[in-house]
Amino acid sequence: MNTFGHLFRITTWGESHGGAVGVVVDGCPPQIDLDVSAIQFEMNRRKPGQSHLTTPRQEGDAVEILSGVFEGKTLGTPISMLVWNKNARPSDYQHLKDLYRPSHADFTYQEKYGIRNWQGGGRASARETIGRVAAGAIAKQVLREHAGTETLAYVKQIHTLAAEVDTDTVTLEQIEASPVRCPDPIVSPKMAERIDQARRDRDSLGGIIESVARNVPVGLGEPVFDKLKADLAKAMMSLPATMGFQIGSGFDGITMTGSEHNDPFYLEEGDETARVRTRTNNSGGTQGGISNGENIVFQVAFKPTATIGKPQQTVDMHGNEVTLEASGRHDPCVLVRAPAIVEAMAALVLTDHLLRHRSKSCF
């Protein structure tokens, strides 16, 4: 349904058109100095219309906090946040009312619920992720304050263009410096060019978002079902347009043998005690579903955006085969906005597991 998480738990709500979209964050630890500008910063990273590379529809997306905070600090009670929907123009979508757009959720929503909000995707719209990003911004603050953990995500691949990124050293600044949020300075401009070409072609592109979490405490993850990799996979595959998730060596790892793939342990000398480390990180930071202290590195595949400008064959609700004509401007590559969303979901999962693990370990 619309709630995610066990101890740090979010409930999102809202259609793309209609009153508003929002989220309730439940289980946030009390006494966190909530940085509201940090929440808005993430909202801005997510929103369309940031540059000519993203959707031209301008959205304000100013977040309002309605509860759970008192004199700047979290109360431990639910934090309710919302963003008003500003530019609802039903007439823009009137021609889609009876149509099933290919590879959108129109058909399945209509069949499942017998009704749907046909104005701009309704609940299946990417606008639904606003609540996730706002909640994730709070999770990031909890992670930073309580564990020093940092989550980052960036564009790893667009269409056939793959970037080289060092997961140990990549920074938010490097990511944000790129108009396509790809921290590889060589590939980034090529990606921008490819996206521009797709727009001119009235077509769209997909790609891969890679995410790294650094300084993750050892011990996060609750086998056997709530393994860290399982909850990360669910979080990512609950996003619109995602088609795949892989951690560590992922699908590529299968062409290795066990002796090549296993991550040998060694001891890293520290000031006081030696720390158990692995020389390679094919495991992607978890073993047995539990974080091992190495970087958590995973990738998410996003399909090319379903909304395109080219005419398409489809059917309508009344049993007619029809042609869906071009529908004005479109966003040829949502990946540019996706890093904020992936980071948010990663932060939500890690925070939930941090709290779950602490309930045991603090005895």
Q: Using CB under 8 A, which residues numbered 181 to 220 contact a copy of itself?
A: 198, 201, 203-208, 218-219
User: Using the rule CB under 8 A, is 177 a contact of a copy of itself?
Assistant: no
Contacting range for a copy of itself; rule: CB under 8 A; set: 47-55, 64-72, 166-174, 180-188? 64-72
Q: What is the DSSP letter of 265?
A: E
Pick the piece of the chain touching a copy of itself (CB under 8 A) from 47-55, 103-111, 173-181, 184-192.
103-111
| CA 173 – CA 263 distance, rounded (Å) | 31
Mark 67-86 with x for binding to a copy of itself (rule: CB under 8 A) and - for no binding: xxxx--xxxxxxxx-x----
In whole angstroms, how close is the CB of 260 to a copy of itself at the nearest point? 8
CA 2, CA 10: separation in Å to the nearest integer?
8
Rounded Cα distance, 268 and 282, in Å: 18
Contact assessment for residue 68 and residue 25, using Cβ atoms and an 8 Å cutoff: yes
Positions 106 through 145 that interact with a copy of itself (CB under 8 A): 107-109, 111-117, 122-124, 128
Residues 16-45 that bind a copy of itself (CB under 8 A): 18-22, 24, 26-27, 29-31
**Where does this chain touch a copy of itself (CB under 8 A) — which range of 43-51, 52-60, 171-179, 258-266?**
258-266
269/343 Cα distance (integer angstroms)? 31
Of 49-57, 164-172, 182-190, 308-316, the window that binds a copy of itself (rule: CB under 8 A) is: 308-316
Q: Please check whether residue 27 is in contact with residue 134, taking contact to mean a CB–CB distance below 8 angstroms.
A: no
As given in the structure block, the two tokens for residue 155 are 């564009």
**Residue from the set 96, 120, 139, 302 that interacts with a copy of itself by CB under 8 A:** 302
Considering the complex, what minimum distance in angstroms separates the CB of residue 284 from a copy of itself? 7
Q: Which residue has the tokens 């000031």?
A: 271
Q: Is 318 in the site for a copy of itself (CB under 8 A)?
A: no
| 362 interacts with a copy of itself by CB under 8 A | yes
- Specify whether the CB–CB gap between 316 and 99 falls below 8 A: yes
Residue 161 CB, shortest distance to a copy of itself, in Å, is 10
Instruction: Tell me the C-alpha distance between 140 and 343, whole Å.
Output: 9
Q: Quick check: 347 binds a copy of itself (CB under 8 A)?
A: no
Other Cβ atoms less than 10 A from the Cβ of 64: the count is 13
Q: Does 266 bind a copy of itself (CB under 8 A)?
A: yes
Tell me whether residue 135 or residue 152 sits nearer to a copy of itself (CB atom). 135
Q: Which of 352, 338, 353 has its CA nearest to residue 153?
A: 338
What span, in angstroms and rounded, lies between the C-alpha atoms of 148 and 143?
A: 6
Shortest distance in whole angstroms from residue 193 CB to a copy of itself: 15
Give the SS3 label for residue 238: coil
Report the run of H or E that residue 300 belongs to, with start and end: strand 296-302
Q: Which of residues 270-289 bind a copy of itself (CB under 8 A)?
A: 273-274, 276, 278, 282-284, 286-289
Q: Which residue has the tokens 């909640």?
A: 135
